Structure 1
Amino acid sequence: MRTEFHQQLDALNADLARMCEMAGEAMQRATLGLLTVDLEAAEQVLTDLESLARLRRDVDHAALSVLARQAPVASDLRAVVAAVHITSDAARMGGLAAHVARIVRRRHPQSAIPDDVVGQFSEMGSLAVDLADDAASVIVDGDPVRASRIRDDDEAMNEMHRRLFGAVMSPEWTHGVPAAVDLVLLGRFYERFADHAVAIAARVLFRSTGRTSLDPDPEIPNPQGGRAG
């Protein structure tokens, strides 16, 4: 019975990882549409979102089936509960990619972003894809080093978002109000995408240890004495 249960968990984790990969692929395609004014790429994101939604429904059903049939307790129960929450985070990541794609579609055939921020959005898009890939890997292997990298990359994304907001609020901004609104929204979409990757890493940590934060455990002594963190 326990062998069957853990096989079900492994299958569940593989599907969760695939959801993260799909969200990363969607954001990669949405960013391509944003940077190159590619309407076809943006429309493909919206189509792919339907596949992600179907997979989410399948994973949710599988998780609830495990709960009903196996009645897990302790760490096994945490694993199933974490899976249910991770489906939500991964689906929202895909939804944020779709928001980027909709802005591309709305502004087409014009670009939604001025030339002077193209490089910054290229960086944000690349980082978002890395975050999604790392989240997928953490789900499967629970690697704490990779989980820590997700937290660090999220901080980098936050800093890029702050720089973008600063550019919009600067007296030197010359691109008008509609472009400013688009940039603020787009920056927020990328920032929230990163936040959900962090949430996934934290849920994996909860699954393994019962802790709910990626920050170092304050109860674990560090090599210099005192407490970590």
Structure 2
Amino acid sequence: MRVIFNEELKAVGDGLDQMAADVSQAVHGAGQALLNTDLDAAQAVIDGDQVIDDLEADLIDQCVRLLARQNPVATDLRVVVSSQRLAATFERMGDLSRHIAEAVRRSYPNSPLPPEAKDLFRQMQEFLDMTADRLVTMLADRDTKTAEQIIRDDSILDDLHHQTFALVLDDSWQGSKQELIDVVLLGRFMERMGDHAVSAARRVVYIVSGFDPSKEPDKAGEDNEG
């Protein structure tokens, strides 16, 4: 029975690795679509979202079967339950990428972003591209150092997101009402992707160590030691 359980658990892990890779591709594609007004890239992200949704459904089914048939305990239970939550987190990141791509498709051939917002959103996308690549590495290696880096760096994206509000509230703003809505919504979508990446990173740390880190893992560790 243990051999069967290990094989099924490995299949879950392989599925999560595939989800992380697909989500990373969606994040990169949504950014390319947004910054380059690339309709083909946008449509690829929209079409690919169903694959991510199907993977999530399959992984949750696998985890439910493991819980029902194998009755895992201790570390094994932690891995199975956390895998379910990781699948849901990745699915949401795929949805947010699709939302960005849909905004590009709706606005085409124009960009949903006014020229004065492009540089700020380019910085946000560069951060998300880096984070998406880190997610793949983190999942493949169960790398807690990479996970903690994702958690630690989240404030960078938060700061950039706050700048989107400053941009549209400034007296010099010349964009249309639709552009204002797009800047606010797209900024929110990107900030939420960062939040979900943090959630995934915290879950990986929990799988490996049994410790659920705070937003500042080093500080949390110091608090626990004290």
Q: Equivalent residue for 2:224? A: 219
Partner residue in 2 for 1:95: 95
- Where do 1:108-127 residues align within 5 Å? 108-127=108-127
> Tell me, which stretches of 5 or more residues in structure 2 are unaligned?
none
CA distance in 2 between partners of 1:122 and 1:13 (Å): 33
How far apart are residue 140 of structure 1 and its match? 3.1
8 Å CA contact retained: 2:144, 2:208: no
2 CA distance for matches of 1:50 and 1:18? 14
Please list every run of 5 or more consecutive structure 1 residues that lacks an aligned counterpart in the other structure: 221-226
Output one character per residue of 1:174-213: Cα deviation in whole Å (capped at 9) or x when no partner. 1122111100100000100011111011112222333222
Could you say what the CA RMSD is over the residues aligned between the two structures, in angstroms?
1.6
Paired positions, count: 221
- Choose between structure 1 and 2: higher helix proportion: 2
- Does the CA contact (< 8 Å) of 1:56 and 1:87 recur in 2? yes
Aligned runs of 1:155-194 on 2, under 5 Å? 155-194=155-194
Q: List per-residue Cα deviations over 1:46-105 (Å, max 9, x = no partner).
A: 100011111111111211122122110011101000000111000000000001011111
**Cα distance between partner residues in 2 of 1:27 and 1:141:** 21
**What CA distance in whole angstroms lies between the structure 1 residues aligned with 2:66 and 2:151?**
30
1:223 equivalent in structure 2: none
Q: Single out whichever of 211-220 and 164-173 deviates more from structure 2.
A: 211-220
Inter-partner Cα distance in structure 1 for 2:137 and 2:63: 19
TM-score normalised per structure 1 = 0.90
Structure 1 distance, partners of 2:124, 2:137, is 20
Tell me the SS of whatever aligns to 1:195: helix
Q: Distance in 2 between matches of 1:205 and 1:28?
A: 25
Asked if structure 2 preserves the Cα contact closer than 8 Å seen for 1:15 and 1:59, the reply is: yes
Match of 2:54 in 1: 54
Over residues 122-168 of structure 1, what are the superposed CA-to-partner deviations in whole Å (9 max), with x where a residue is unaligned?
22222212222222322332222101110133211111111122111
Does the 8 A contact of 1:135 with 1:197 survive in 2?
yes
2:162 maps to 1:132: no
The answer to whether the Cα contact below 8 Å between 1:34 and 1:100 also exists between their aligned partners in 2 is: yes
For residue 111 of structure 2, give the secondary structure of its aligned residue in structure 1.
coil
Q: Following superposition of structure 1 onto structure 2, how do residues 205-216 of structure 1 map, counting pairs within 5 Å?
A: 205-214=205-214, 215=217, 216=220
Asked if the contact 1:206–1:212 (Cα under 8 Å) also holds between the matched residues in 2, the reply is: yes
- Write the distance in 1 (CA, Å) between the matches of 2:172 and 2:160: 18
Distance 2:68 2:132 in 1: 30
Task: Single out whichever of 125-134 and 73-82 deviates more from structure 2.
Answer: 125-134
Q: Would you say the 8 A contact 2:16–2:139 is kept in 1?
A: yes
Percent identity for Structure 1 against Structure 2 = 33
1:7 is displaced (CA, Å) by: 3.2
Counterpart in the other structure of 2:150: 150
Please state if 1:71 is matched with 2:76.
no
Shift of 1:172: 1.2
Task: Give the match's secondary structure for 2:224.
Answer: coil
Q: Distance in 2 between matches of 1:140 and 1:41?
A: 26
Give the conservation status (yes or no) of the 8 Å contact 1:17–1:135. Answer: no
Whole-angstrom CA distance in 2 between matches of 1:140 and 1:70:
24
